[in-house]
A = this chain, B = another copy of it.
Amino acid sequence: MSEELAGGDLSRLRQLNAVAVLRELRGTQPLTLTELSKRTGLSRASTEDVARDLLGRGWLAEVAPAAGTVGRPARRYRFNSGAGRLLGVDVGGHKILALVTDLDGEVVHQSRVEVPADAGRRERLAAVDRCVAEALDGTAQIWATGVATTGLVDGTGKVMLSDSLPEWSGVDLGAHVQRLVPGAVRVENDCKLAALAETWRGVARYAKDVVFLLAGLRTGAGLIIDGKLHRGFANWSGEIGALPAAGWQRAPQHLHAWLSKNPAAGGFERVFVAARAGDHGARKAVEKYVKDLAIGASALVLTLDPQLVVIGGGFSRSADVMVEPLRRELERWCLRTPEIRVSAFADEGVALGAVRLALDAVEAAITDGLRP
């Protein structure tokens, strides 16, 4: 049958083989042709053919044989993660955070610009410009860029609706960032990207179905279903917080109430600090917050039956006073309570998710024809 393979079949097969080889070499140790052939299931000859091709295109690099090799040393190959750079930008309420990474997602440079929560569109976009310029630091090698923003984002990179940032609804964030960098620019909702970051490099790496909860001044959700970010028909998934019965609109009010009864300097953390120290009122406030958070969270869990719930966002730093009460509430409502994990990212999870989005664009280019 091999003689019967038409040109189209062959080049498609060749491409799939190339993607298979690249996949095996991403983020692992260098591999010999024998090891690559074993892992991809391709024949030794096909593997050699693909490796030669990818080496010529700059996707792979050859590395020195392993030390202490006896006999004729086998050539080893690694993914050339330094061939290009990715940019991930988190346009947050209080800060802009930009990460420049290699093609494996390893951060090589970052910058942060503080921005007031009440900053309007122009001021926030100017902060984006400064932050990106500082992060790039003259680098012209950016292959693709991911941008995270609060609010609902359409397929063209426009913010359709933002409740929390002033003048942000309608901003064409994709077009704005595209003026700053070469390569593809993709824009996505921050909760969705935080969820993506957890399955990529965070605590959800092993799980295929994940509910990510952003617990902070805002409450939000990002869903990983069958290993992929679930976007929905118009990219409006995860918005259960819009339903009053889900409890998320009421949840932070309990914390607000305690804070206004106990005025002092400092942010929301004060409630958790006081609760941790045993303050009865603060404990009650956190308990009520968690009870309301758990209603919407249980709705997500009962709907999707995920393997894992990940808690991220500002309040996840107070996981020690929050996770056990949350588990008890979930156990009260859910038929099967999934494992609960706390995000291990400080506050760069969203920006890392934006990097992953940029990497998706590069990988799509690989699959579409190996022309980054």
Contact = CB atoms under 8 A, between A and B. Distances in A.
A299 B41 contact: no
A335 B236 contact: yes
Interface string A159-195: 0010000000000000000000000000000000000
B304 A237 contact: yes
A302 B244 CA distance: 12
A299 B209 CA distance: 18
Contact of A43 (B5, B295, B305, B338): B5
By secondary structure, the A interface counts as mixed
Interface residues of A, number: 59
Interface stretch (A9-17, A116-124, A126-134, A349-357): A9-17
A15 to B, nearest CB: 12
B306 A242 contact: no
A333 B42 CA distance: 52
Interface in A1-43: 1-6, 8-10, 13-14, 41-43
A361 interface: no
A338 B302 CA distance: 21
Contacts of A295: 243, 245
Given A242-B335, A245-B246, A305 B45 contact: no
Given A13-B13, A152-B335, A232 B304 contact: yes
Contact of A234 (B10, B221, B243, B305): B305
A247 B295 CA distance: 12
Contacts of A5: 2, 13, 43, 46
A225 interface: yes
A235 interface: yes
A240 interface: yes
Q: Which of A43, A230, A233, A246 has the most CB of B within 10 A?
A: A233
Contact of A247 (B41, B230, B245): B245
A185 B49 CA distance: 45
B245 A245 contact: yes
A308 to B, nearest CB: 8
B43 A8 contact: yes
A49 B9 CA distance: 14
B209 A233 contact: yes
A278 B166 CA distance: 48
A269 interface: no
Q: Which of A44, A223, A226, A232 has the most CB of B within 10 A?
A: A232
Contact of A223 (B2, B234, B303): B303
Contacts of A161: 335
Contacts of A242: 302, 333-335
A75 interface: no
Contacts of A244: 333
Interface in A188-233: 209, 221, 223, 225-226, 228, 230-233
Interface string A317-357: 00000000000000001111010000000000000000000
Nearest to A45: B4
Interface string A273-305: 000000000000000000000010011101111
Given A41-B8, A225-B226, A295-B243, A236 B49 contact: no
Q: Which of A45, A49, A299, A338 has the most CB of B within 10 A?
A: A299
Nearest to A13: B13
Given A46-B6, A152-B335, A243-B302, A233 B307 contact: yes
